[in-house]
Structure 1
Protein backbone atom coordinates (compact mmCIF):
# COMPACT_ATOMS: atom_id res chain seq x y z
CA UNK A 1 0.00 0.00 0.00
CA UNK A 2 1.42 3.38 -0.90
CA UNK A 3 1.51 6.39 1.36
CA UNK A 4 -1.12 8.04 -0.84
CA UNK A 5 -3.65 5.42 0.23
CA UNK A 6 -2.72 5.31 3.92
CA UNK A 7 -3.67 7.82 6.59
CA UNK A 8 -0.83 9.75 8.24
CA UNK A 9 -1.80 8.29 11.64
CA UNK A 10 -3.56 5.06 12.59
CA UNK A 11 -4.16 5.08 16.35
CA UNK A 12 -5.53 1.52 16.27
CA UNK A 13 -1.92 0.33 15.77
CA UNK A 14 0.13 1.45 18.73
CA UNK A 15 2.93 0.38 21.02
CA UNK A 16 1.22 1.89 24.07
CA UNK A 17 -1.71 4.06 25.15
CA UNK A 18 -1.64 5.97 28.43
CA UNK A 19 -4.14 8.34 29.94
CA UNK A 20 -2.46 11.02 32.03
CA UNK A 21 -4.89 13.48 33.58
CA UNK A 22 -6.74 15.28 30.83
CA UNK A 23 -4.57 13.86 28.03
CA UNK A 24 -4.34 10.54 26.23
CA UNK A 25 -0.87 9.66 24.95
CA UNK A 26 -0.28 7.17 22.14
CA UNK A 27 3.03 5.66 21.11
CA UNK A 28 2.43 4.88 17.45
CA UNK A 29 3.94 5.32 13.99
CA UNK A 30 3.31 8.04 11.43
CA UNK A 31 3.65 7.59 7.69
CA UNK A 32 6.61 9.49 6.33
CA UNK A 33 7.88 9.89 2.79
CA UNK A 34 8.90 6.95 0.60
CA UNK A 35 6.44 4.50 2.19
CA UNK A 36 8.43 4.53 5.45
CA UNK A 37 7.04 4.88 8.94
CA UNK A 38 8.51 6.70 11.93
CA UNK A 39 7.81 6.29 15.66
CA UNK A 40 5.87 9.18 17.16
CA UNK A 41 3.99 10.34 20.22
CA UNK A 42 0.42 11.45 19.61
CA UNK A 43 -1.49 13.45 22.21
CA UNK A 44 -5.23 14.04 22.31
CA UNK A 45 -7.58 15.37 24.98
CA UNK A 46 -8.77 12.48 27.15
CA UNK A 47 -12.29 13.82 26.80
CA UNK A 48 -12.65 14.40 23.07
CA UNK A 49 -13.67 17.80 21.86
CA UNK A 50 -15.15 18.56 18.47
CA UNK A 51 -12.47 19.80 16.13
CA UNK A 52 -9.56 18.63 18.31
CA UNK A 53 -6.51 17.93 16.20
CA UNK A 54 -4.06 15.25 17.32
CA UNK A 55 -0.63 16.56 18.22
CA UNK A 56 2.20 14.47 16.81
CA UNK A 57 5.86 14.44 17.85
CA UNK A 58 7.94 12.37 15.44
CA UNK A 59 11.17 10.69 16.48
CA UNK A 60 13.11 12.83 13.99
CA UNK A 61 12.09 16.01 15.85
CA UNK A 62 12.27 14.68 19.43
CA UNK A 63 15.60 16.43 20.10
CA UNK A 64 13.89 19.83 19.80
CA UNK A 65 11.73 19.11 22.86
CA UNK A 66 14.81 18.96 25.10
CA UNK A 67 14.93 22.78 24.91
CA UNK A 68 12.56 24.16 27.59
CA UNK A 69 11.61 27.28 25.60
CA UNK A 70 10.72 25.25 22.51
CA UNK A 71 8.82 22.72 24.63
CA UNK A 72 6.69 25.43 26.28
CA UNK A 73 5.96 27.21 22.95
CA UNK A 74 4.90 23.95 21.27
CA UNK A 75 2.84 22.85 24.29
CA UNK A 76 0.96 26.17 24.17
CA UNK A 77 0.40 25.71 20.42
CA UNK A 78 -0.70 22.06 20.85
CA UNK A 79 -3.28 23.05 23.45
CA UNK A 80 -4.78 25.60 21.07
CA UNK A 81 -4.93 22.99 18.29
CA UNK A 82 -6.66 20.54 20.62
CA UNK A 83 -9.27 23.17 21.50
CA UNK A 84 -8.09 23.47 25.09
CA UNK A 85 -7.34 26.60 27.12
CA UNK A 86 -3.55 27.14 27.13
CA UNK A 87 -3.17 28.42 30.69
CA UNK A 88 -0.04 27.99 32.78
CA UNK A 89 -1.28 24.84 34.52
CA UNK A 90 -2.34 22.95 31.41
CA UNK A 91 0.71 24.12 29.44
CA UNK A 92 2.95 22.86 32.24
CA UNK A 93 1.05 19.56 32.44
CA UNK A 94 1.37 18.98 28.68
CA UNK A 95 5.03 20.02 28.58
CA UNK A 96 5.79 17.63 31.45
CA UNK A 97 3.89 14.83 29.72
CA UNK A 98 5.88 15.32 26.51
CA UNK A 99 9.25 15.61 28.25
CA UNK A 100 8.62 12.59 30.48
CA UNK A 101 7.82 10.37 27.49
CA UNK A 102 10.64 11.32 25.12
CA UNK A 103 12.61 8.27 26.29
CA UNK A 104 9.61 6.05 25.49
CA UNK A 105 9.58 7.54 21.99
CA UNK A 106 13.29 6.89 21.52
CA UNK A 107 12.92 3.27 22.66
CA UNK A 108 9.93 2.46 20.44
CA UNK A 109 10.55 -0.37 17.98
CA UNK A 110 10.00 0.00 14.24
CA UNK A 111 6.40 -0.47 13.18
CA UNK A 112 5.47 -4.14 13.02
CA UNK A 113 4.16 -4.62 9.51
CA UNK A 114 3.74 -8.35 8.92
CA UNK A 115 1.57 -10.88 10.72
CA UNK A 116 3.66 -13.92 11.64
CA UNK A 117 2.08 -17.15 12.86
CA UNK A 118 3.76 -17.95 16.18
CA UNK A 119 1.45 -20.72 17.32
CA UNK A 120 -1.61 -22.82 16.65
CA UNK A 121 -4.22 -24.19 19.02
CA UNK A 122 -7.07 -26.69 18.82
CA UNK A 123 -10.02 -25.54 20.89
CA UNK A 124 -13.03 -27.55 21.94
CA UNK A 125 -16.06 -25.38 22.60
CA UNK A 126 -18.53 -26.05 25.39
CA UNK A 127 -21.04 -27.51 22.93
CA UNK A 128 -18.48 -30.00 21.55
CA UNK A 129 -17.52 -28.06 18.40
CA UNK A 130 -13.82 -27.99 17.59
CA UNK A 131 -11.99 -25.00 16.22
CA UNK A 132 -8.40 -24.49 15.09
CA UNK A 133 -6.92 -21.02 15.69
CA UNK A 134 -3.64 -19.34 14.80
CA UNK A 135 -1.81 -17.04 17.19
CA UNK A 136 -0.34 -14.08 15.31
CA UNK A 137 2.40 -11.64 16.19
CA UNK A 138 3.20 -8.61 14.10
CA UNK A 139 6.82 -8.46 13.01
CA UNK A 140 8.92 -6.27 10.79
CA UNK A 141 9.13 -7.34 7.16
CA UNK A 142 12.61 -8.43 6.12
CA UNK A 143 14.43 -6.00 3.82
Structure 2
Protein backbone atom coordinates (compact mmCIF):
# COMPACT_ATOMS: atom_id res chain seq x y z
CA UNK A 1 0.00 0.00 0.00
CA UNK A 2 1.37 3.39 -1.00
CA UNK A 3 1.50 6.10 1.63
CA UNK A 4 0.30 9.49 0.43
CA UNK A 5 2.85 12.23 0.85
CA UNK A 6 0.94 15.48 1.42
CA UNK A 7 3.91 17.61 0.36
CA UNK A 8 4.27 15.70 -2.93
CA UNK A 9 0.53 16.03 -3.52
CA UNK A 10 0.72 19.78 -2.87
CA UNK A 11 3.67 20.14 -5.25
CA UNK A 12 1.90 18.16 -7.95
CA UNK A 13 -1.30 20.19 -7.58
CA UNK A 14 0.71 23.42 -7.54
CA UNK A 15 2.39 22.59 -10.85
CA UNK A 16 -0.80 21.31 -12.47
CA UNK A 17 -2.85 24.42 -11.57
CA UNK A 18 -0.23 27.11 -12.24
CA UNK A 19 -0.18 29.47 -15.18
CA UNK A 20 2.78 29.36 -17.59
CA UNK A 21 4.09 32.54 -15.94
CA UNK A 22 3.91 30.99 -12.49
CA UNK A 23 5.66 27.85 -13.77
CA UNK A 24 8.51 30.00 -15.09
CA UNK A 25 8.74 31.69 -11.70
CA UNK A 26 8.93 28.23 -10.08
CA UNK A 27 11.79 27.33 -12.42
CA UNK A 28 13.73 30.46 -11.44
CA UNK A 29 13.15 29.75 -7.74
CA UNK A 30 14.16 26.12 -8.16
CA UNK A 31 17.30 27.11 -10.00
CA UNK A 32 18.27 29.53 -7.24
CA UNK A 33 17.63 26.86 -4.62
CA UNK A 34 19.87 24.36 -6.41
CA UNK A 35 22.63 26.95 -6.92
CA UNK A 36 22.62 27.70 -3.19
CA UNK A 37 22.64 23.99 -2.34
CA UNK A 38 25.56 23.44 -4.73
CA UNK A 39 27.48 26.32 -3.16
CA UNK A 40 26.77 24.99 0.34
CA UNK A 41 27.94 21.50 -0.71
CA UNK A 42 31.10 23.06 -2.15
CA UNK A 43 31.79 24.85 1.14
CA UNK A 44 31.24 21.58 3.02
CA UNK A 45 33.55 19.68 0.68
CA UNK A 46 30.82 17.39 -0.62
CA UNK A 47 31.88 17.08 -4.24
CA UNK A 48 29.17 14.60 -5.21
CA UNK A 49 26.35 16.75 -3.81
CA UNK A 50 27.86 19.88 -5.39
CA UNK A 51 27.87 18.15 -8.75
CA UNK A 52 24.30 16.87 -8.35
CA UNK A 53 22.87 20.26 -7.39
CA UNK A 54 24.87 22.03 -10.10
CA UNK A 55 23.49 19.65 -12.72
CA UNK A 56 19.94 20.25 -11.45
CA UNK A 57 20.43 24.03 -11.75
CA UNK A 58 21.88 23.57 -15.24
CA UNK A 59 18.90 21.42 -16.26
CA UNK A 60 16.56 24.23 -15.25
CA UNK A 61 18.59 26.82 -17.18
CA UNK A 62 18.50 24.51 -20.19
CA UNK A 63 14.71 24.21 -19.86
CA UNK A 64 14.45 28.01 -19.74
CA UNK A 65 16.57 28.21 -22.88
CA UNK A 66 14.52 25.61 -24.74
CA UNK A 67 11.20 27.26 -23.87
CA UNK A 68 12.36 30.82 -24.59
CA UNK A 69 10.02 32.51 -27.06
CA UNK A 70 12.37 33.35 -29.92
CA UNK A 71 9.84 35.68 -31.53
CA UNK A 72 10.47 38.31 -28.85
CA UNK A 73 13.16 40.93 -29.45
CA UNK A 74 14.72 40.45 -26.01
CA UNK A 75 15.13 36.69 -26.50
CA UNK A 76 18.59 36.93 -28.08
CA UNK A 77 19.96 38.83 -25.08
CA UNK A 78 18.26 36.48 -22.65
CA UNK A 79 19.74 33.47 -24.45
CA UNK A 80 23.23 34.96 -24.14
CA UNK A 81 22.71 35.43 -20.39
CA UNK A 82 21.32 31.91 -19.97
CA UNK A 83 24.40 30.53 -21.76
CA UNK A 84 26.61 32.64 -19.51
CA UNK A 85 24.83 31.29 -16.41
CA UNK A 86 25.27 27.72 -17.63
CA UNK A 87 28.98 28.38 -18.21
CA UNK A 88 29.38 29.92 -14.74
CA UNK A 89 27.73 26.85 -13.21
CA UNK A 90 29.91 24.50 -15.23
CA UNK A 91 33.09 26.40 -14.36
CA UNK A 92 32.06 26.73 -10.72
CA UNK A 93 31.54 22.99 -10.55
CA UNK A 94 34.84 22.14 -12.23
CA UNK A 95 36.98 24.77 -10.48
CA UNK A 96 35.23 24.62 -7.12
CA UNK A 97 34.83 28.40 -7.16
CA UNK A 98 31.93 29.73 -5.05
CA UNK A 99 32.23 33.14 -6.74
CA UNK A 100 31.13 31.63 -10.03
CA UNK A 101 28.00 30.27 -8.35
CA UNK A 102 27.36 33.77 -6.99
CA UNK A 103 27.59 35.24 -10.50
CA UNK A 104 25.06 32.72 -11.80
CA UNK A 105 22.79 33.34 -8.84
CA UNK A 106 22.83 37.12 -9.34
CA UNK A 107 21.69 36.82 -12.96
CA UNK A 108 18.96 34.28 -12.18
CA UNK A 109 17.79 36.46 -9.28
CA UNK A 110 17.46 39.42 -11.67
CA UNK A 111 15.45 37.30 -14.10
CA UNK A 112 13.27 36.01 -11.27
CA UNK A 113 12.60 39.43 -9.81
CA UNK A 114 11.77 40.88 -13.22
CA UNK A 115 9.49 37.94 -13.99
CA UNK A 116 7.70 38.43 -10.67
CA UNK A 117 7.02 42.06 -11.62
CA UNK A 118 5.66 40.99 -15.01
CA UNK A 119 3.27 38.55 -13.33
CA UNK A 120 2.09 41.26 -10.92
CA UNK A 121 1.55 43.75 -13.76
CA UNK A 122 -0.43 41.18 -15.73
CA UNK A 123 -2.59 40.33 -12.71
CA UNK A 124 -3.30 44.01 -12.17
CA UNK A 125 -4.29 44.38 -15.83
CA UNK A 126 -6.55 41.31 -15.68
CA UNK A 127 -8.14 41.79 -12.28
CA UNK A 128 -7.61 45.43 -11.42
CA UNK A 129 -6.12 46.60 -8.15
CA UNK A 130 -6.77 43.76 -5.70
CA UNK A 131 -5.85 46.01 -2.75
CA UNK A 132 -9.14 47.87 -3.15
CA UNK A 133 -11.25 44.71 -2.73
TM (normalized to structure 2)? 0.29
Larger relative strand fraction: 1
Question: Relative contact order, CA 8 A, sep 6+: which one is greater?
Answer: 2
More helix by share: 2
Larger Rg: 1
TM-score by length of 1: 0.28
